[in-house]
Structure 1
Amino acid sequence: MSLGHLLQRIRACRECEPDLPCGARPVVQASVSAPILIAGQAPGRRVHASGLPFDDPSGDRLRSWLGVERATFYNERCFAIAPMGFCYPGTGKSGDFPPRPECAPLWRQQLLHELPKLRLTLAIGKYAIDWHLSQLNHVRGYKTLTETVAHWQEYWPDVLPMPHPSPRNNLWLKRNPWFERDLVPMLQARVKTLLAQSVCHDNAFLLK
């Protein structure tokens, strides 16, 4: 199956629609040329409305962490963007619900199989971290997200566990200044190198 055909099937998926408060609208971006995968949790309400991944304040912070402009971020030849759940799952008292559990078993391995150029996976948030690190045989398990992210060099340079860039995590970032001080510059350098080496380099206008 070609990537184009698979993306058509994903975008047409209605498997979880009875359990989705706003209906099904799978949000995914991918190209066989993409060297970087952004694996988030699930779209929020704003992303559901626009159909554009990370089209919100979380995306602004993520692009800042990556050191790229919007044009590069939304260039599918540069970044594949595939959350653990492709549709907005709804919101509870403490924030958005987890990704629907049906989504990853249905689509994730199929999609990754069609992305042969991936060199770096950004696993953002608990659900993406748990799934992607489970695919690495040598990974040591840690009890908390903070511990896992703090040991990021164990998975580098293939996978990078990250906190979600949501404003809800401002306190986490304040308590863990090492993330933006030490890790983010390494991430930006890695992204710059990968984009320069890829077929999307002509459109990769970096912020810094």
Structure 2
Amino acid sequence: MQDLLHNIRQCTICKDYLPLGPRPVLSAHKNSKIVIIGQAPGTKVHKSGIPWDDASGKQLRAWLDVTDEQFYNPENFAIIPMGFCYPGKGKSGDLPPRPECAPQWHNQLWEHMPKVELVLLIGMYAQRYYLKDRAKKTLTETVDNFQDYLPRYLPLPHPSPRNRFWFTKNPWFQTDILPILKSKTHSLIK
């Protein structure tokens, strides 16, 4: 696993498309129990090199009801984005994750993580990649039908503060899904 992580962190496969250059950010361990698959690092995470080191990460840790120490212990959580490097700025937020990363590296990571029991698919890119034709038409429908994907996958919206309108419009996420997410998380990392 250490060799693989080293190789990923040295990856430059899409360097010509990265405005800030390559800086793959991830975390994984052979004993990881929960895998978090998000989109791609933002500028703050690119700068720090620490996954989910931003407001979205703070919200995600609150959803999971875990401490920073628990969250950043790779034996608890592997953090594997769809794109390992900051993809650049788009019209309304960051660009989509680069398409090269997941096909290049994800399967190799899975081979080294036999103890994974839950995969959190955060955002539409992760959901479409992993659920394929089982994903619903919209992220809202996919998240609302989360029971269809358990016990392996649990689809979630992105915890970004930019999504506050989505959370206001979909209060069932907080009442119906967050308690299940917290319960599953606590049972796996106890």
TM range (shorter): over 0.9
How far is 1:158 from its partner? 1.3
1:87-126 aligned at under 5 Å gives the runs 87-126=85-124
1:14-25 aligned at under 5 Å gives the runs 14-25=12-23
Query: 2:60 aligns to what SS in structure 1?
Result: helix
2:151 match: 157
Q: Is the 8 A contact 2:127 2:135 kept in 1?
A: no
2:52 match: 54
1:5 match: 3
What stretches of structure 1 move > 3 A for 4+ residues in a row? none
Name stretches of at least 5 consecutive residues in structure 1 with no aligned partner.
Answer: 197-208
1 CA distance for matches of 2:107 and 2:25? 17
Q: Does 1:176 align with 2:170?
A: yes
Identity of counterpart residues, as a percentage? 54
Q: How many aligned residue pairs are there? A: 190
Query: 2:151 aligns to what SS in structure 1?
Result: coil
Q: Does 1:185 align with 2:179?
A: yes
Q: Is the 8 A contact 2:128 2:135 kept in 1?
A: no
- Corresponding letter in the other structure for 1:192: H
Query: 1:54 aligns to what SS in structure 2?
Result: coil
1:81 match: 79
- Corresponding letter in the other structure for 1:14: T
Equivalent residue for 1:36, pick from 34, 52, 58: 34
2 CA distance for matches of 1:97 and 1:149? 22
2 CA distance for matches of 1:131 and 1:115? 19
How far is 1:157 from its partner? 2.1
How far is 1:82 from its partner? 0.3
Name stretches of at least 5 consecutive residues in structure 2 with no aligned partner.
Answer: none
1:199 match: none
TM-score (ref. length: structure 2): 0.98
How far is 1:141 from its partner? 3.9
Query: 1:170 aligns to what SS in structure 2?
Result: helix
